[in-house]
Structure 1
Amino acid sequence: MSPVTDVVVTGLGATTPLGGDVPSTWQAALAGESGARPLPNDWAERYEIAVSFAAQLKVGPDEVLTRPEIKRMDPSAQYAIIASREAWADAGSPEVDPERLGAVVSSGIGGIWTTLDAWDTLREKGGRRVLPMTVPMLMPNSPAAYVELELGARAGAHALVSACASGAEAIGYAVEMIRSGRADVVVAGGTEAAIHPMPLAAFAASRTLSTRNDDPAAASRPYDTGRDGFVLGEGAGIVVLESAEHAAARGARVYARIAGVGLSADGYHLTSPEPSGRGQISAMRAALADAGVDAGDVRHVNAHATSTVVGDLIEARGVRDVLGAAADQVALSATKSMTGHLLGGAGALETIFTVLALHERTAPPTINVSDPDPELVLDLVRDTPRALPADGQLAAINNSFGFGGHNVALVVTTA
């Protein structure tokens, strides 16, 4: 059944390992650049961590924010504010009744830097030296709160947490806020700032990270036979969503529609995906049904594809199951090959990539796939962008999955 209220995208904002804003990030993605680099520190040696690289921000927040802003915000909130300001300006800084304006900004891990810095201060200097702003800074809803406060949003401020699906689920929830009549405009997305020695060591200990220390730029290689894990990334992606009526009334430029939202849970394992992909398949089918989109309308998929040995193929088989023969016409992109895995920010950034792919009718490439897995059952866009059909309505699926068995699929359609 088609949604009663169309929800459109009118603003985009991001800060990523590829660029400090959406235009630079998108152009770097189309050029097939990698954001993975050796870490400029001695964490690997000092803490005996098996991984010495990550995909850090291309433009540091100290180049964008004021010193007081940096001091009162955890990096996760800093990234969200940078991206939300760009998205809001890109949308034309719309005039909207504060009671009809919402904010949904998620993080998979939250203020890990603030939490661990405060613990170090407590152990080394005592409780009197712990900053009074520590709790407001480390809260996982801190990024949503800062965005809500800056914009004066009073329709609701939310921070859904579903691990690496958090950013996509935030956008899905924002869609429902508009459809249900709670808001006319919602600023939504995800953020993560977890490139810290503790999470790096923990992910390395779980054997989910690539250990290609000698060639970081080639480490994230979804669907390649030599893939050995994901690359830890950081950043934020934010979109401005509006009801189609509100956007039309103010003459806003529309990038695309978020036409369908599908959610499910695996009910299987805390960290491993269910082998048959049943939960992922359920989310994709639900999103297509919600959008009123047939399999034959889908021409592009931005895959979750983190570059893990098992997970990549489970998702690919799931896409084939959902789309059937229509999967043959789909251009598959795995953009984590360039950005690394932004955890709670990944689904939001990849929604932006999906929106731009349809808006510009160009699918971004997947890099580092020198030996494609023979079990890959989809048409992967490798190394260079690929033109999507120039005419007619197009649909795309953006998948995001997270530890805990969280599955989110968003269907995006051309405006």
Structure 2
Amino acid sequence: MKRVVITGQGAINALGHSATATQRAMAEGKCGIGPLELRDVERLSIRIGGQVQGFVAEDHFNRQQIALYDRFTQFALLAAKEAIAQSGLTFSGDLSAETGVVLGTAGGGVNTWDENYRTVYEDGKNRVHPFVVPKLMNNAAASHISMEYNLKGPSFTVATACSSSNHAMGQAFQLIRSGMSRAMVTGGTEAMLCFGGIKAWEGLRVMSKDACRPFSANRNGMVQGEGAAIFVFEEYEHAKARGAEILAEVVGFAMTSDASDIVMPSKQGAARAISGAMKDAGLNPEDVQYINAHGTGTAANDKTECAAVADVFGTHADNLMISSTKSMHGHLIGGTGAVELLACILALREGVVAPTVGYQEADPECALDVVPNEARDAKVDVVLSNAFAFGGLNAVLALRAM
């Protein structure tokens, strides 16, 4: 079995337009959630989100590209550019043939859906742009990255709601570990912050109107975000031979299904995913110092996740740090696990644990060290990144410092 390391990272989200800016904001405990700026916002009951501010598509893409790229694809391409540049890889010959793209997204081209529903149903037009289908399809971002960088290996998109990114990165990890690929571009992207995307989530009645406060007794729901984070996963010996800078090692992955309820999480399913990732990595409970939680800020998720962690770690749970950066960048749905992996790398590389901001009141059912409000300096050798999705689909990654 091959070892797998991370040699590049890139991002754009509410905290920053790069991986470096995002990690700096996480370390400073900044909150990127604020009032939404979008069409018909006055018709929404939810008017806050982790929106990417200051992004102008025309600054990065020409008119022909914008006609082809939904916002979720634009985000992915920008994050991929940063990650691949940092990795120092160029793709030709055998490396090109073996390297692919696996991305997570739940909605795909939601902005394109929204715009074209308006065109047909509100404006009464009978024709839409001929590229609507290739623009909105879930695999568009992965396909455009593969074309941009000559990546001819295994490429596909994973759509498992809020676990999409972790499932995607787990598949990339397994492709390299098995020897099928020497490198993979992987992560997630999402752009649901448009009228229709928010209106759909309003219907679930799980959204907060004021803030995302994971694990706090007075939490009142989740807050949507948008953006992308992309990574270059690479076989360790290949990275070592070319003298690449290694950000972290991916050492384990597990995925489970609750097989119980379409929206309510299961403690047992989450616990099996957590313990499965540790088993895959050959870890004992005492080896783990930090968990980046799914931590949505809903009562159902937070209590279930804390109970699952307590079950798996037993007495060591009291020594764990567990935080939710969704409190800062919002819930990116299919892209969320990828942005949260930046917090894991921050902890492993810099010894800085990103906080759970907005924490106000202790909840006895979430009686763990949730790193409230301020980042913490700590020696971190091993981390877990949790993702638990609607549909009961769970995915957990384990990473180690190098």
TM-score by length of 2: 0.96
The correspondence for 2:176, drawn from 178, 183, 186, is: 178
**What letter matches 2:383 in structure 1?**
A
Give the secondary-structure state (helix, strand or coil) at the position aligned to 1:108. coil
The correspondence for 1:55, drawn from 25, 50, 58, is: 50
Query: Is the counterpart of residue 407 in structure 1 residue 394 in structure 2?
Result: yes
Deviations 1:172-205 (A, max 9, x none): 0000111122210100000000001112112112
Query: Is the counterpart of residue 74 in structure 1 residue 85 in structure 2?
Result: no
Deviations 1:48-73 (A, max 9, x none): x2111111013414264123322320
1:306, distance to aligned residue in structure 2 (A) = 0.4
| 1:122-271 equivalences in 2 (<5 Å) | 122-123=120-121, 124-128=123-127, 130-212=128-210, 219-271=211-263
Counterparts of 1:113 and 1:168 in 2: how far apart (Å)?
A: 23
1:125, distance to aligned residue in structure 2 (A) = 5.0
Structure 1: unaligned runs, 5 residues or longer:
213-218
The 1:177/1:61 distance shift into structure 2, 3 A limit, reads: farther
**What letter matches 2:345 in structure 1?**
V
1:410, distance to aligned residue in structure 2 (A) = 0.4
Q: 2:108 is matched with which residue? A: 110
Q: Is the 8 A contact 1:15 1:59 kept in 2?
A: no
Q: Is the 8 A contact 1:106 1:141 kept in 2?
A: no
The 1:99/1:79 distance shift into structure 2, 3 A limit, reads: same
The correspondence for 1:282, drawn from 272, 276, 280, is: 272
Percent of residue pairs identical: 35
Structure 2: unaligned runs, 5 residues or longer:
none
The correspondence for 1:354, drawn from 337, 341, 344, is: 344
Q: 1:216 is matched with which residue? A: none
Q: Is the 8 A contact 2:261 2:392 kept in 1?
A: yes
**What letter matches 1:398 in structure 2?**
S
Counterparts of 1:224 and 1:285 in 2: how far apart (Å)?
A: 25
Deviations 1:338-387 (A, max 9, x none): 01100011011111211221111211111111112122131111122112
Counterparts of 2:130 and 2:319 in 1: how far apart (Å)?
A: 56
Question: 405-414 vs 52-61, which deviates more?
Answer: 52-61
Counterparts of 1:310 and 1:9 in 2: how far apart (Å)?
A: 33
Q: Is the 8 A contact 1:255 1:356 kept in 2?
A: no
Give the secondary-structure state (helix, strand or coil) at the position aligned to 1:14. strand
Deviations 1:188-226 (A, max 9, x none): 0000000011121121121111022xxxxxx01001111
Counterparts of 1:59 and 1:261 in 2: how far apart (Å)?
A: 36
Give the secondary-structure state (helix, strand or coil) at the position aligned to 1:380. coil
1:119, distance to aligned residue in structure 2 (A) = 2.5
The correspondence for 2:118, drawn from 100, 120, 128, is: 120
Counterparts of 1:119 and 1:160 in 2: how far apart (Å)?
A: 25
Q: 1:215 is matched with which residue? A: none
Q: 1:380 is matched with which residue? A: 370
Counterparts of 1:104 and 1:11 in 2: how far apart (Å)?
A: 15
Counterparts of 1:179 and 1:321 in 2: how far apart (Å)?
A: 29
The correspondence for 2:80, drawn from 84, 90, 93, is: 84
**What letter matches 1:406 in structure 2?**
L
Counterparts of 2:340 and 2:159 in 1: how far apart (Å)?
A: 17
**What letter matches 1:332 in structure 2?**
I
Q: 2:313 is matched with which residue? A: 323
**What letter matches 1:250 in structure 2?**
R
